[in-house]
Each structure stands twice: as C-alpha cells, then as structure tokens.
Amino acid sequence: MTVRRILTIDNAADLAVLKQISTPVEGPVTDELRRLMDDMLETMYDAPGIGLAAVQIGDARRVIVMDLNDAELEGHAEDAEADEGDEAQVARRNPRYYVNPEIVWAADELFTYEEGCLSVPEYFDSVERPARVRLRYLNYTGETIEEEAGGLYAVCIQHEMDHLEGVLFIDHLSRLKRERAVAKVRKNARLAA
C-alpha cells in the first residue's frame, strides 16, 4: 500500500481536480481497483481521517473509503463524539469500501454536524444534511450492498459522496464563510512552507 498526496483547496490545480464530477467505475471490482482502495485507506489513516474519496488523491472514479467505529456505523454520533480523543480512535481498522455509491432515499429530517475535510485542512464548520439515508454500492469484493445510514455515518457518506459530484463541504456554507475557509487554508499552507 502507498500513501498518496491529498489534494487541497489552496492549490489551484488541486482545486480544479476536486471540482470535477467523478465517473462511474465500469465493470466489476478488479484487483487494480482494490489496490486503489487500499492506497486510499492507507492515505486516509496516515492523514488521519475517517473518509476519503478517490478524487481527493487525483483519481476521478466514483470510489470512497471510510473507517468509523461501531457506534458511528449504527448512527449513534453522540457515542462517537465522546471517543474522538482516544488514541485507539485513530488506529481503528473497520474499513468500508464504496464503489459507485448512490443515495436511493433521504429522510426529510435534518441533522447538523461540524464537519472537516482532508482537502480543506484545519477548518471545521457546521453543515446541515439529511439525518438518515439509504445507500446502494459495490463493496471491496464487488458485492452489491444496500443499507441505511444515520448520525455520523450518514454525515460522512454524504460528505464523501459530495466529493464525487465536485462539491466540498464548504460549498454548503455562506459565501463569507467559504472565503474565510479558503483564506485560512491558504494562510496555513504559506506558514507551513
């Protein structure tokens, strides 16, 4: 497995790629696609993060990886939030793989959560999304899965699926907040250089 560079919004070329709409994976889940997902997972763990879309490492195919703990997967975000500071949280290994994911239903009820993004480093803000969604996707072995997601799981899958449409979480914010986010990320990148 290889750790890949994560594209960030402070780089104009990276931003152009991040704004692309990803293309569906044609055909079955192959060994080459599994290698991509393994690299994505390793990259996400190294960052560290809980989700990553292929476009964030420059591959514009409809592929996502995530790793949430059991409480997060069951939709109990309050349990997950209490564990966020734990070292074990970063080291978790409950990987999930999504090829050609699609949301087939979304609840009318909304849920607000403070989101962050590996492509928008060190910036967090509240985003409102449907509280529950039903999704369909192919897993690591190519099996079709349909399941319901709630809480942080719903937030994370919707956030990552936005990436597949060229949408960043800051695109859900007001123009002023978006401008602040971009300015902060650019400033942090300059200071780190």
* Residue 106 CB partners (closer than 8 Å, separation 6+): 130, 132, 133, 134
> 65 phi and psi, to 5 degrees?
-125, 150
Marked catalytic residue, from 102, 160, 165, 179: 160
CATH number of the structural domain 12-192: 3.90.45.10
> 7 phi and psi, to 5 degrees?
-70, 140
Query: Domain limits of the chain?
Result: 12-192
Is the model's pTM score more than 0.85?
yes
Rg of the chain on CA atoms, in Å: 16
pLDDT reported for residue 69: 75
Query: Which residues of the chain, if any, have pLDDT below 50?
Result: 76-90
148 is catalytic: no
pLDDT reported for residue 63: 98
Closest CA to 48 of 94, 6, 98: 6
Helix, strand and coil percent figures for the chain, each rounded to 5:
40, 30, 30
Coil, strand or helix: which one is 110? Answer: strand
pLDDT reported for residue 96: 96
pLDDT reported for residue 92: 62
Q: List alpha helices for the chain, DSSP H.
A: 12-18, 31-46, 70-73, 77-83, 87-91, 151-164, 175-192
The strand pair at 110-117 and 120-130 is best described as antiparallel
